[in-house]
Amino acid sequence: MIVPALEEVIRNVMKTNPDSVLKSVPLGASTVKRRIDEMAHNVEKTLLSELQCSKFSLQLDEATFGSSSVLTAYVRYFSPSLKCVTDEFLFSKYLEGDSKGETIFRCMEEYLQEQNISLENITAVATDGAAAMVGRYRGFATLLRQKVPHMVTVHCVLHRTHLVPKRLSGELHEALMICIRSINKIKAHPLNSPVFAKLCEKNDETANQLLMHIEVRWLSKGDSLQRLVDIFDSTVEFLGEVAPLLCHELKKCKKHLLYLADIYSKFNQKRLQGRDVTTTEARTIIMGFQVKLGSFKNSLESRDYKYFSNLKHFSTSLMEDHRISDDDIEIFTNHLGNLQDDFGVRFKDLENMTIPEWIITPSDVKFENRSVEPECEHELAELSVDIAAKAAFKSRSLSDFWHKVNTRDKYPKLAAAAEPFLLAFPSSYMVEAGFSHVNAILSKQCNRLNLEERGDLILKLTNIQPDVKALVRAHQAHPSH
């Protein structure tokens, strides 16, 4: 009765199409909340129904927001509905009392029990390596392994990559501290920052601001130091007026700054970040970078700067003070040698990882050179002569091939044996990215929002589309609208 009357008013008085006006009328806040929560519940129900009968790996971490500790978890599993391996947001839960390993384990165990998901379905867990997560006696992973002995624990490769470059010699560490003090002197002072920006614009620099180094932000040193190199002259000119002693120290350590900017930028492994990165891919990248460190060291020893763009540009200058001394070369090469040793210690588990050859190269598998369990031998024999499977492998990624429906149906035992290698998360990247969304949702205006009772975060992070048609059919139509 109301809507037709409004249509006539809009059409006759406003002289416009009533459809566009009526569609722009906002719904009430409670209506929007209810529909968000219903869609989130539908998505969660779909995910949990698939996890009840699927093997999956976990990726989880906890963070503090205000006075509350939030535990966030992701899963990677083969989705029967999507017919592929998918990374999916599982939950965010408030930790009661503290954030110790026992509390984290209890929180996750209770959630899985409530949803009728067996702990035996967990094949691997990726954490940030904190004591609460991997402690020998009461860490989360230790408690979980008591329930699931076959489970694999993975220390986030991004965190380990961040820890490796912290190993610096006395000269390089002092140079890094001088660079950070120089950046903070300009960037952290509200009176200095705008004046410095004007100076950079006057000098026609490529940027007008420095980037602050944040210790808790992964691999930020590379970007921060490279920006300092890019606008080094303007930085020295500005510090010469506001902090002459700091300016002198910065100019004195320029060669060390150039080296640090070069080597730290190489640690920004973008290929390790993002979704769909498997443990086998991460191992290839990490082990490859370890080999590259040897090439970097050999090139510096022969004064070939082809891998170090900043040092190369510096050394080609005709100015006399732009000569890189033998002492500097020794400092740089010793640092690269220490990095190699540290890589060998921190990533020993990846280096010693034994992945069966038939998983990596099923298209070239030789039954005579098999390394497989006895119950899988017959399937491996068939795979070794399967022309269709070999053709499918050439056009698909490793994960897609082993989780392909035809492969799982024809070789179920082989697919099950390959699954733990393909499902394991190599890092906790997705959880860290999820915390950014939590921080955005829990703003100053919404600081009392309960993440467990609202579906905002689920719809923000999920890849599953809610079944809107089913939700609509479940509602009674209102004649008034």
CA quadruple 209, 215, 218, 223: dihedral sign? positive
Mean residue pLDDT across the chain: 83
From 350, 378, 404, the end of a domain falls on 350
- Examine the domain organization and report whether 296 and 340 are in the same domain: yes
In a domain, 264, yes or no: yes
Query: Taking 90 as the threshold, does the pLDDT of residue 207 lie above it?
Result: no
In a domain, 417, yes or no: yes
- Examine the domain organization and report whether 221 and 270 are in the same domain: yes
From 398, 423, 448, the end of a domain falls on 423
- Examine the domain organization and report whether 44 and 147 are in the same domain: yes
- Examine the domain organization and report whether 39 and 113 are in the same domain: yes
Helical (H) or strand (E) element with 94: strand 84-94
From 297, 328, 350, the end of a domain falls on 350
In a domain, 368, yes or no: yes
pLDDT tens digits, residue range 120-161?
Answer: 999 999 988 888 888 888 889 899 999 998 888 888 888 888
Instruction: Name beta bridge partners: 89.
Output: 74
pLDDT value, residue 377: 75
In a domain, 8, yes or no: no
Lowest-confidence region among 73-82, 136-145, 264-273, 468-477: 264-273
pLDDT value, residue 247: 92
> Do the beta carbons of residue 260 and residue 225 sit within 8 Å?
yes
Query: Taking 90 as the threshold, does the pLDDT of residue 116 lie above it?
Result: yes
Q: Return the structure tokens found at 258.
A: 């150039």
- Examine the domain organization and report whether 444 and 341 are in the same domain: no
pLDDT tens digits, residue range 255-281?
Answer: 999 999 998 888 776 677 777 788 888
In a domain, 392, yes or no: yes
Comparing 271 with 55, which gets the higher pLDDT? 55
pLDDT value, residue 375: 67
In a domain, 464, yes or no: yes
- Examine the domain organization and report whether 338 and 211 are in the same domain: yes
Query: Taking 80 as the threshold, does the pLDDT of residue 391 lie above it?
Result: no
Q: Residue 336's domain spans which residues?
A: 162-350
- Triad 55, 59, 63: Cα angle to 5°: 150
Number of domains the chain contains: 3
- Examine the domain organization and report whether 43 and 96 are in the same domain: yes
pLDDT value, residue 110: 92
CA quadruple 244, 248, 249, 253: dihedral sign? positive
- Examine the domain organization and report whether 405 and 284 are in the same domain: no
In a domain, 13, yes or no: no
Burial 277-316 (b: 16+ CB within 10 A, else e): bbbbbbbebbeebbeebeebbebbeeeebebbebbeebee
Residue 66 sits at φ, ψ, to 5 deg, of: 70, -120
pLDDT value, residue 49: 92
In a domain, 220, yes or no: yes
Query: Distance between CA atoms of 28 and 361, rounded to whole angstroms?
Result: 57
